[in-house]
């Protein structure tokens, strides 16, 4: 079974984003690019939005500041 949420990296700007796996594309909140789901660099999947947000913050922490605003 496929998880509902996808934690992925934007192929254009490298920002982390959470996509809903029911949709075929996702607009990056950072660079506003519309990214087809099959071009997202998937990091992890999550079953709910809380888990997805946790994965994003862990991924940001691992990256160590490159992605902070």
Q: Under the rule (CB under 5 A), what is the footprint of Zn ion? A: 10, 12-13, 15, 28, 30-31
CB of 6 to Zn ion, least distance (A): 15
- In angstroms, the Cα distances linking 21 to 18, 39, 65, 68 are 9, 13, 27, 25
CB of 54 to Zn ion, least distance (A): 21
The nearer residue to Zn ion, 20 or 48, going by C-beta atoms, is 20
CB of 35 to Zn ion, least distance (A): 7
């Amino acid at each position: 079974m496929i998880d509902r949420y996808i934690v992925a990296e934007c192929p254009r700007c490298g920002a982390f984003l959470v996509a809903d796996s029911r949709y075929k594309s996702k607009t990056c909140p950072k660079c506003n690019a519309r990214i087809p789901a099959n071009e997202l660099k998937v990091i992890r999947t999550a079953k709910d939005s809380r888990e997805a947000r946790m994965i994003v913050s862990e991924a940001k922490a691992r990256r160590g500041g490159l992605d902070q605003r």
